[in-house]
Amino acid sequence: MPIHFSPEEMQARKDRAAAAITAAGLDGLLMFKQESMYWLTGYDTFGFSMFQCLVMTADGRIALLTRAPDYGTAFYTSDITDVRIWVDVEGMNPAMDLRAMLDDLGLAGSRVGIELDSYGLRASMWRLLEAELDGFLAWEDASTLVQEVRRAKSPQELEYVRRAAELADDAWDEAVRLAGPGVDEAEILAAMQGAVFLGGGDYAGNELIIGSGPGALMVRYTSGRRRLDADDQLTLEWCGVQRRYHAAMMRTILVGTPDPVQVDMHRACEEALLACEDAIRPGTTLGEVFDVHAGVLDGAGFGEHRLNACGYGMGAVYAPVWTDWPMLYTGNPLVFEPNHTFFLHMILLDHRDQKAMTLGHSVVVTEAGCERTWSWPDRPPAAAPSGRPRADRELVQSGRVLCAIAWAPLPGLKRSVGSRAALTARSRSNSTWDFWPVRRPSRSWPMPCSALIVPPRSQMRPSTSAVTAATRSGASLPPCSRDGST
């Protein structure tokens, strides 16, 4: 495959990396993070699970040491021209091969940086390498050097992020289409992953997360599937992925009769997510945004059920997790800057009563605030699914109501962003509220993205709803069931 970026962009990345190496007072950098290798050269592999190292000198020379299976991969996916192989043989020590390559590059007696904080450098291999470097050259930990340089995304990178968000939307459409009593989690999971693949996307850095019943509180992928009960909770966390760039989303679907406590939990997550969005702007620290999230959830009485982080970076990442650096937790002094991408997640897990509620999506930091990465906000439908014109504060009747959808511009963001279901049903100035029920998912118009209540099919019936009364009152719009009740 061709490299997914222009030669000019790839050269600019190399220039920035070389400048960062020089500014750090280093003569070279030993990269073990696959993310660094991909960003710098396009090299795309899971071969980092074995020992490999990409070396870049301060004057811009690049060489890769890897195993034979990745020799062709390096030439096929990257612009690396100097590829060297260490041989699988009993008693092998690839650290010796790396020392020889460093010597060839003129780095003996120099000072280099090493990505020590990497899944690609196991402790056993580091012990071998450290022994080889002792007395050969000086080194220091440079785990964040490339990581920091690649945080701000280029226009092409942002295109891939937004396409990834479209694929995440497609996956959510499939979840909404299928979720209901008696449905196997496996069917939902297969459809969501299939939507990403059919849209030209990639595997995510870790498995898509699905869990119902008690599994809804795990927020981790676990082996084994179950069928949804008549009254159930289903937590989903997934990514759309394009050219390795991720856009994550997270939702909890309520099946059957809604638990009033979980409706309150959803309202708190909604308020926390909106507050975090309002707080994000260049110069604000990650710790400050986490504290906003904590303040809202603690104030709503759910402090003991929240987590100690509320988001993390999004980018081109590899297994074992799609989490990119850095993370939003209290006291984190790093600041938001334009073109950074993040996943914000509001998570409440009541392990005592076995109740879960989650709400999250990805954003791009702009010059003035942040922008959601959903694909549809700039293209709201010209008509409701029934064919009737859009009407302000009117719930259009349809056959089988899945959920009410709200669409409104949010002040302070770079562009108008859509909001689904309960996400923005609060009073906002200069906002137009349009509601319509969902007959069936379609890629041509928005789907709800907050908690969704799905009753047994026997209860589905055409219905209007009183939810429009909440649109101007400042009240939060709770999730709507298929029969239009709240």
Q: Tokens for 170? A: 């497609």
Q: Tokens for 485? A: 């009740």
According to the model, what pLDDT value does residue 453 have?
53
According to the model, what pLDDT value does residue 238 have?
97
Q: Reduce the DSSP state of residue 211 to 3 states and report it.
A: strand
β 209-212/138-141 pair status: unpaired
Nearest-angstrom CA–CA distance, 70 and 83: 9
Nearest-angstrom CA–CA distance, 209 and 206: 9
Return all residues near 455 (Cβ < 8 A) that are at least 6 apart: 255, 256, 257, 481, 482, 483
Q: Tokens for 61? A: 């020379």
Report domain 7-149's class: alpha beta
User: Is the omega angle on the peptide bond into residue 326 within 30 degrees of 0, that is, cis?
Assistant: yes
> Is the fold of 7-149 the same as that of 155-380?
no
According to the model, what pLDDT value does residue 6 have?
95
CATH number corresponding to 155-380:
3.90.230.10
Q: What's phi and psi for 122, nearest 5 deg? A: -70, 155
**CA-based nearest residue to 254, from 485, 484, 479:** 479
Nearest-angstrom CA–CA distance, 411 and 430: 9
What are the strands, taking DSSP E only, across 74-173? 83-85, 111-114, 138-141
Spans of the chain, pLDDT less than 50 = 375-451, 455-486
**CA-based nearest residue to 253, from 236, 229, 270:** 236
List Cα–Cα distances, 286 to 96, 164, 427, in angstroms: 41, 24, 28
Q: Is 353 exposed, middle or buried (0-12, 13-18, 19+ CB in 10 A)?
A: exposed
User: How far, rounded to the nearest angstrom, does the alpha carbon of residue 209 sit from its chain's CA centroid?
Assistant: 12
Do the beta carbons of residue 198 and residue 179 sit within 8 Å? no
Write the pLDDT tens digit of every residue in 324-346: 999 999 999 999 999 999 999 99
User: How far, rounded to the nearest angstrom, does the alpha carbon of residue 156 sit from its chain's CA centroid?
Assistant: 18
**CA-based nearest residue to 173, from 353, 333, 405, 348:** 405
| Domain coordinates in residue numbering, the chain | 7-149, 155-380
According to the model, what pLDDT value does residue 298 have?
98
Q: Which residues pair with 147 in a beta bridge?
A: none
Nearest-angstrom CA–CA distance, 307 and 143: 26
